[in-house]
Amino acid sequence: MIFTVLTLFPKFFESPLNESIIKKATDNKILRFNIVNIRDFAHDTHKTCDDTPYGGGPGMVMKIEPLYNAMNHVESNLGRPYYILMTPQGRVFSQHTASRLAKKPHLCLICGRYEGIDERIIDLVDEEISIGDYILSGGEVSALVLIDSISRLVPGVLGNKESHVKESLEESLLEYPQYTRPEVFMGMEVPSVLLSGNHEEIRRWRRRESIRKTIIRRPDLMERFQPNKEDEVLIREIMEGLSE
């Protein structure tokens, strides 16, 4: 899978893309990163990428032509990618969106700076994504959030094929609690069922805790959850426990 990033600050990506899982997947040629400096596509002598807003007001606005030129350059080398504009005005990113985007062969993430990009960019992109209801100073951090969460869903990126299947939010549920050694820490014990060796009981306990945590912490997620027969029994047990 190819990630192209259009940015005014390409160095921003050097360290994060050269660590751990993403670096390994790049070395193994499962992922490929193409970090493009928008400034290289501003053709005036000062390589201007921003200008004052029409109608007045504070700050600067990113110009459309350098971006358009950069997009053409990407397309002539690698074909048309799926374009995503990073913007606080976009649809809020979720695990569901990450799974959908992980199936695209080539994503191009466009990072704004200053007061944002000339609004006409919207006609050139496929989708606008926000990573949450707060304002960042640039799209780079949000692009890294997408890269991190999408790439770990690309087959072969995580070592263990199973390891993201049961993760939080994959099924609109939070993940069950996890423990490792020691068995007792400052008087706090690991739930005994996990030491029992009874795989069926462990599986059922995990499922119940996963649903219980979601009901307590994120009731909003439960609206999308589709319980099976066993889950319905577990939910009844949980509700009885909560009302005691």
Nearer to ligand SAH among residue 75 and residue 115 (C-beta) = 115
Contact by Cβ (8 Å): 100, 152: no
Largest CA distance in the chain: 74
Give the binding range for ligand SAH (CB under 6 A) out of 12-20, 76-84, 133-141, 167-175: 133-141
Q: Does the footprint of ligand SAH cover residue 89 (CB under 6 A)?
A: yes
Residue 3 has φ and ψ, to the nearest 5°, of -110, 115
| Residue from the set 81, 139, 153, 209 that interacts with ligand SAH by CB under 6 A | 139
Rounded to the nearest whole angstrom, what is the least distance from the CB of residue 48 to ligand SAH in the complex?
17
Rounded to the nearest whole angstrom, what is the least distance from the CB of residue 111 to ligand SAH in the complex?
5
Instruction: For residue 158, give the amino acid letter.
Output: L
Nearer to ligand SAH among residue 132 and residue 191 (C-beta) = 132
Q: What angle separates helix 199-217 from helix 229-243, to the nearest 10 degrees?
A: 60
Nearer to ligand SAH among residue 62 and residue 211 (C-beta) = 62
Give the binding range for ligand SAH (CB under 6 A) out of 39-47, 111-119, 159-167, 228-236: 111-119
Nearer to ligand SAH among residue 20 and residue 89 (C-beta) = 89
What is the b/e burial string over 65-99, where b = at least 16 CB atoms within 10 angstroms of the residue's CB? ebbeebbeebeeeeeebbbbbbbbebeebebebbe
CA nearest neighbour of 122 among 40, 41, 78, 64: 64
Q: What is the Rg, in whole angstroms, of the alpha carbon atoms belonging to the chain?
A: 23
Rounded to the nearest whole angstrom, what is the least distance from the CB of residue 34 to ligand SAH in the complex?
18
Distance CA 108, CA 30 (A): 17
Binding to ligand SAH, residues 176-215 (CB under 6 A): none
Q: Does the footprint of ligand SAH cover residue 138 (CB under 6 A)?
A: yes
Q: Which residues bind ligand SAH (CB under 6 A)?
A: 86-89, 111-113, 115-117, 130-132, 134-136, 138-139, 142
